[in-house]
Amino acid sequence: MTHVADAHSSLLDVKDLTVGFADARGIFLPTNRVNFTVQRNQTLGVLGESGCGKSVTLRSLMQLVPYPGEIIGGTIAWKGRDLRGRSAREMSSIRGSEISMIFQDPASCLNPAFTVGNQIIETLRVKAGLAASAARSRAAELLDHVGIASAKERLTLYPHQLSGGMRQRVMIAMAIATKPDLLLADEPTTALDVTIQDQILTLLANLKGETGMSMVVVSHDVGVIAQNCDVIVVMYAGHVLESGPAQAVVHAPRHPYTRALLDAVPKLGRGGRRRPLASIPGQPPSLATLPAGCPFQPRCPHRRDGCEEVTPRLDKALPDHGSACPMVN
């Protein structure tokens, strides 16, 4: 069993995590030497465009990388011990108990053939060891706690009978059922309208305050990450391009990609007039045809000679606020 000596001060310590997918064209790395740390009672946000490797990174923490992907390098130290060295039985006991996850699409994660009550009850019986009657009572309490009215009656409903926001609340109820130390949320507000998004994010923040759990929130929405996270990790083409305290990253971004993401957020000018919406030119690169050097350099407004030689690794120029761009900093 691998032990990581310096990880005991943090809940989760990820070092040089690399995930590879192989096909006829070669091996692609949606997660390429990724590093971050999650402290107790902290919310870390992973920000980036679709396809940058956020969800793969999150799934790797649970050892749930979809086939044909696999973790090919790095460590995932959970309470000081590397999860990569755990047996399948140990990982099964950790998932849903110590670490829980809210997946991106609750409609596809909830079983359409069973009522939501049966699915929560099964979680409680397997993970918490509750008897059937106690599990049913606890399931109703959980639904009520996450803001679902008439909780006892709603236990008898099937997923398709619930709205998208209510299905997400059911997923949250299942995730917190065993009072985990860490909650992973993969795009928790996708496909929800703005009002429901705000309700879900407020619910998660309140649950964190009540339980003291830590969270890792993945999103492509700058506002979601900026307003709800203590630390931000910015990913692009599998690499971490910037990482630091949320306020520092939002108000003093150090990497051109982070600045471009922030510039693309709609803003109001004087008199309440909407400013022209900025955009990032081009498209994120395919992992099969990454450009040389910095993966963002073909789209970067600050591109210079030498960007093709840059190795995208965070610097140490500022305490706790790293950037992978040596050309601008």
Backbone angles phi, psi at 42, to 5 degrees: -120, 150
Whether 233 and 243 have beta carbons less than 8 Å apart is answered as yes
DSSP state of 252: S
Residue 112 lies in a domain: no
Q: Is the pTM of this model over 0.85?
A: yes
Q: What is the CA radius of gyration of the chain?
A: 21
With vertex at residue 123, the alpha carbon angle to CA 122 and CA 124, rounded to the nearest 5 degrees, is 90
Cα–Cα dist 222/201, whole Å: 14
Count of C-beta atoms within a 10 Å radius of residue 305:
7
Residue 321 lies in a domain: yes
Q: Give the structural domain span for 297.
A: 254-329
Which residue bears the tokens 């917190």? 176
Residue 99 lies in a domain: no
Instruction: Please tell me the total count of domains within the chain.
Output: 1
Whether 252 and 81 have beta carbons less than 8 Å apart is answered as no
Cα–Cα dist 317/259, whole Å: 18
3-class state of residue 191 by DSSP: coil
Residue 47 lies in a domain: no
pLDDT at 1: 45
Residue 80 lies in a domain: no
Residue 30 lies in a domain: no
pLDDT at 179: 93
Residue 279 lies in a domain: yes
Q: Along the 329 residues of the chain, how does pLDDT read in single tens digits?
A: 444 444 346 999 999 999 999 988 889 999 999 999 999 999 999 999 999 999 999 999 999 999 999 999 999 999 999 999 899 999 999 999 999 999 888 888 899 999 999 999 999 999 999 999 999 999 999 999 999 999 999 999 999 999 999 999 999 999 999 999 999 999 998 878 889 999 999 999 999 999 999 999 999 999 999 999 999 999 999 999 999 999 999 999 999 999 999 998 887 566 666 667 788 999 999 998 899 999 999 999 999 999 999 999 999 778 899 999 998 76
**Which two tokens mark 105?**
């699409």
Which residue bears the tokens 């706790």? 320
Residue 289 lies in a domain: yes
Backbone angles phi, psi at 52, to 5 degrees: -85, -10
What is the amino acid identity at position 140? A
Could you tell me the CA-to-CA distances from 154 to 115, 117, 132, 177 in Å, in that order?
9, 8, 17, 17
CB burial class (10 A; 0-12, 13-18, 19+) of residue 80?
A: middle
